[in-house]
Amino acid sequence: MPIPIIDIFAGPGGLGEGFSALVNEENEKHFNIALSIEKDPVAHQTLTLRSFFRQFAPDEVPEDYYDFVKGNLTIHELFEKWPDQSENAKEEAWCGTLGDPDEKDMNAVSDADVDAKISKVLNGEPNWLLIGGPPCQAYSIVGRSRRQEKILNEKSDKRVGLYKQYLRILAVHSPAVFVMENVKGILSAKTADNEVFSKILSDLSDPAGSYLTKREGDDQEFNCPGYKIYSIVSKPERFDSHGNPVYKQKDFVIKAENYGIPQTRHRVILLGIRRDIDIKPDIIHASEEISVSNVINGLPRVRSGLSKSKDDFESWKALIHQIIKGDLLVDVDSDVVGDINAKINDIKEPIDGVGNNYIKCEEINVGYQTEWYLDNRLEGVCNHMSRSHMESDIHRYLFVSCFGNIKKCSPTLMNFPAALLPAHLNVQEGIDDKKFADRFRVQLLDKPSKTITSHISKDGHYYIHPDPTQCRSLTVREAARIQTFPDNYFFCGPRTSQFHQVGNAVPPYLAYQIAQVVNRIFEELTLLNAANV
């Protein structure tokens, strides 16, 4: 039987997708998501849709699903056609806000409701897996810099303490194993009382002893024996006198580009094994770096849209040609100017214009992990529509992408010609390389992408497409491919929400590799239990 998974703070389901994809030689799943909890209604819709997709064997997904992706059916009509599977999906994916939500939050769920739901779906199974990543915005280095916060305050920002919901579930339900993900910034985050990461490690080691938010008069007993916390990428330096693995903090950081993920995503991932289980885990093993070109070059070309003028190809092309007129490129390196001229002369109208939520096309390719990404039944690509940009930004994108093509690096503001500098109040600080000097960043074709984050939902300046003839920022599908989502993973909601979901997710292919390590723990546990019967 598959190992049950409870996935909290699930987002659109990237972590769960990786675990769900692990199958044996008979194509049987090693893991099954019993319950996933996400508070955002749109991400929850994506989560529910993917749960529906997983109700079927890969070769038995109904054509109706693909009709929905193509825009021929609504999600309501899809679920009506498959009532049993849709009901199972709705039972699995729960829209709920954990912790101490605002009293106006319509999705707030009580601890008692969560506990009852977990107990119901587990049905007495003792060997199960808890996964999830408590919201990370409070710990993010960039976020703390923007908020000018050196010391975090849980009273003013509830996100600081949301890991305690993870802790509470460990204390009450005592899973055999857990996997917890968060941003690298958690290593340096501090409150007035402690260093956040040291406190979290201590709490996770002893959830029952550390969980201090029981209601007055609550006589609930916690029988959780605690956990040994392991890195997923490094062996312990040693074990202490209590048998706990000892690491440096940096040993918990996974640099995703070293593990087949085409982006420089650095995250903290903790693997916890219950103390009464005497198993030492393996680690995931490094592989070659994967470049951006390997995952986005096989998608249809689309041009940027025009946000404040007539939006058609001829208007767009005429705008781009303006960059070689006047003084826009004064003092720009001649090689870069030459590349700009060459790329302008090479511009052809994309067949699919600015793209769409679904584009039908005969040939979709990927240069890496073909079986992981591609689904021929799609007969095209979804979530592949460009954003509209200001005219001045389109000129900047053209310059930046050509600069990257020639110089093999993304320019900082000090490399910009004066006429292309943005009219920002702090632009001089950027020129002096003091503050956000790389606010216009092109992804280099022969390198992994920079980290795809939720900030991609707000603007595309950090995520400029490397092809100057498209002159735009990345689409949702390109960001999703960089995050290693399969092409048949459809993101619901408006484009801003789609970007936010992709940026907040754990790369599924990284989760798949973690699942292989975790599966070996459960296989060994099964053998130990059988030997003790």
* Full DSSP string of 24-82: -TTS-BSEEEEEEEE--HHHHHHHHHHHHHHTS-GGG--HHHHHHHTTSS-HHHHHHHS
DSSP-assigned letter for residue 444: P
Q: Which two tokens stand for residue 391?
A: 């005219």
DSSP-assigned letter for residue 328: T
How far, in Å, CA of 234 to CA of 293, rounded?
29
How far, in Å, CA of 49 to CA of 87, rounded?
11
Per-residue pLDDT of 338-397, as tens digits, reads 999 999 998 999 999 999 999 999 889 999 999 999 999 999 999 999 999 999 999 999
**pLDDT per 10-residue tile (average), the chain, 533 residues:** 95 97 93 96 98 95 98 97 98 88 74 93 95 66 45 46 81 95 78 73 88 52 89 96 94 97 96 96 96 97 93 95 88 95 93 96 93 96 96 94 96 91 74 74 96 88 95 97 98 97 96 98 92 75
DSSP-assigned letter for residue 388: E
How far, in Å, CA of 55 to CA of 414, rounded?
53
What is the pLDDT at residue 355?
Answer: 97
CA-based nearest residue to 480, from 263, 304, 259: 263
How far, in Å, CA of 15 to CA of 168, rounded?
20
Kind and range of the H or E element at 520? helix 508-532
CA 430 to each of CA 15, 398, 403, 473: distance values in angstroms, whole numbers, following the listed order: 36, 20, 18, 21
What is the pLDDT at residue 50?
Answer: 98
Q: Phi, psi (5° rounding) for residue 135? A: -45, 135
Q: What is the DSSP string of 333-365?
A: -HHHHHHHHHHHHT----TTTTEEEEEE-S---
Q: Which two tokens stand for residue 114?
A: 């969560």
- CB neighbours of residue 392 within 10 Å: 15
User: 186: buried, middle or exposed (CB in 10 Å: 19+, 13-18, 0-12)?
Assistant: buried
How far, in Å, CA of 63 to CA of 66, rounded?
5
What is the pLDDT at residue 149?
Answer: 46
Q: What is the pTM of this model?
A: 0.93
**Amino acid making up residue 262:** P
Tell me the domains of the chain and their CATH numbers. Answer: 3-289+507-532 (3.40.50.150), 292-496 (no CATH)
How far, in Å, CA of 494 to CA of 491, rounded?
9
Give me the long-range contacts of 20-24 (CB less than 8 A, separation at least 24): 20/54, 21/372, 21/508, 21/512, 21/515, 22/512, 22/515, 22/516, 22/519
Residue 207: left if φ>0, alpha if ψ -120 to 50, beta else—which one? alpha
Helix (H, G, I), strand (E, B) or coil at 279: coil
